[in-house]
Amino acid sequence: MPAFSSPAPGVQSANFRFRCIGCGDLSDSASQDFRCAHCGDLLEITYPQWKKAKPNAETLKAAWSERRLSQSPVDLSGVWRFRDLLPAPDTTADEAHIITLREGNTPLYELPQCARSADVSRLFAKHQGMNPTGSFKDCGMTVAATFARRAGFRWVACASTGNTSASMAAYAARGGMRSLVLVPEGKISWSKLSQALDYGAVTCQLRTDFDGCLRLLQELVRRAPVHQLNSINPFRLEGQKTLALELLEQLDWQPPDHIIVPGGNLGNSSAIGKAFVEMRELGLISRLPRLSVIQAEGANALVRTLRETGGQRLVSVQAETRATAIRIGNPASWKKAAHVLEATGGACEQVSEIEIAQAKAEIGAEGIGCEPASAVTLAGLKKLVKQKFVQPDESVVLVLTGNLLKDPDFTIEFHRGELFKGSADEEASAGLDPLRRAPIVLDATLDAVIRTLEQAEKS
Ligand code: F0G
């Protein structure tokens, strides 16, 4: 056990600086809560040298493409392949210290059936659930964990609705660090919890919600030399930016009209938006896609913040949704996300539990699948089309943030017709019956199986 009373080593900058999103103060190091020493707002990472010597867009594209042929661990990572736009280690020796699980490199799938159901002509899914631990968190974690180890930390910690903890535990283990996980008791899926356990984290199920876990973590990092790997940590967001770079490379650098992202603590939408703004600044793309954020109705803090205060003041909510990954009422990065919506001209919408369940089953029926929080994107798209914010001839990319296997309980309850039992939604959910595929228990006879096949053929 390290001496927790000793002062934590500060993170020193190399090719980047920290900038406060509130007062704009620039600094070379950050305190453990990653908040501005002057005004207390969140920090972001900025690259002052781009002003003096702007990287050439065509040279970057060629280098990134060439690195796909390389077998070195940094090039095999779908995050570090784009290291020119990251707080990349500044010497070759440092590159050997990168903690990577070959994250990124995620597929872009076309979704023709979902496109028809949403009434758009071209619909794609960027599937971040195909990352090593099954969620988009890995892309941020490789960067944040690498810098945590570089700063000399032995312990890393996070508050989580499940995916961050799974990812952090894996990267800490790979990097020889210990990890501490704070999760809300009974409110995260068993598959996510089991990942943290297997990767060796000290896992605490706290009798509170995610927001309570995050509050406690903020206090902990001021008292103990543990490095927080929540998305308040701006290194996380730099890694998560690479989703946008990889996506644009897959689209031959032609931006889609819309990109739709689920919103929880609002780190991911902030990261993706930052990437697009930087890409336009560097001439990698000539126009910004509209980035829209979708939340569950029961965890709609950003929706309310924008509608009720015009984005001036956070409206916190008591979060409740079966999409447990985004069961967050007090999102830390709301200001960053509000800024991204403004910069890209995106929308912010909310969707019901039934709409989430339906969208998830539709994505599953395309052979793709995702976890409930990811499905808010398709549900939200349908609303944005009805509102004519998205036109039928526009191209749309949904960011699927987590793998189908992350929350099997939700999926099984849905198909058995048990998801909404006893809730106010029960009656309305009857309309979802055509999507349900409950498992069928039969005697082990050929006749029974053939009869079932014939019945299925008729349905
Ligand atoms: N989708 C999934 C699958 C998630 O796990 C999360 C966040 C989000 C969307 C929302 O992303 O917070 O950047 O707006 N999960 C966190 C966790 C909070 O602890 O795993 P965000």
The whole-angstrom separation of Cα 316 and Cα 167 is 27
Residue 394 lies in a domain: yes
Which spans in 301-445 are helix H?
301-309, 334-344, 353-364, 372-386, 408-415
Residue 167 lies in a domain: no
Residue 352 lies in a domain: yes
Residue 384 has pLDDT above 90, yes or no: yes
Residue 21 lies in a domain: no
Domain of residue 271 covers 108-132+238-435
Token pair 């876990």 is at which residue? 213
Ligand 1 probe mutation, 137, 326, 328, 406, most atoms within 8 A of CB: 326
Look at ligand 1, atom 10, and give the residue with the nearest C-alpha. Answer: 264
Residue 249 lies in a domain: yes
| Ligand 1: nearest atom to the Cα of 264 | 14
374 lines ligand 1 (CB under 6 A): yes
**Would you state the pLDDT for residue 168?**
98
Give, as one character, the DSSP assignment of residue 55.
P
pLDDT digits (tens, 9 = 90+) for 25-64: 999 999 989 999 999 999 999 999 998 889 999 999 999 9
Residue 260 lies in a domain: yes
Using an 8 Å Cβ cutoff, are 236 and 140 in contact?
yes
Residue 73 lies in a domain: no
Q: How far is the CA of 163 from the centre of ligand 1 (A)?
A: 7
Distance from chain centroid for Cα 359? 18
Residue 91 lies in a domain: no
Q: How far is the CA of 402 from the centre of ligand 1 (A)?
A: 9
CA 370-189-299 angle, 5° bins: 75
164 lines ligand 1 (CB under 6 A): yes
305 lines ligand 1 (CB under 6 A): no
321 lines ligand 1 (CB under 6 A): no
The count of domains in the chain is: 1
CATH number reported for the structural domain that contains residue 385 in this entry = 3.40.50.1100
pLDDT digits (tens, 9 = 90+) for 411-420: 999 999 999 9
Look at ligand 1, atom 4, and give the residue with the nearest C-alpha. Answer: 325
Q: How far is the CA of 265 from the centre of ligand 1 (A)?
A: 7
pLDDT digits (tens, 9 = 90+) for 214-224: 999 999 999 99
326 lines ligand 1 (CB under 6 A): yes
State both tokens at 206.
């706290």
pLDDT digits (tens, 9 = 90+) for 57-110: 999 999 999 999 999 999 999 999 999 999 976 555 556 789 999 999 999 999
Q: Cα separations (Å) of 355 from 344, 372, 411?
A: 26, 10, 14
268 lines ligand 1 (CB under 6 A): yes
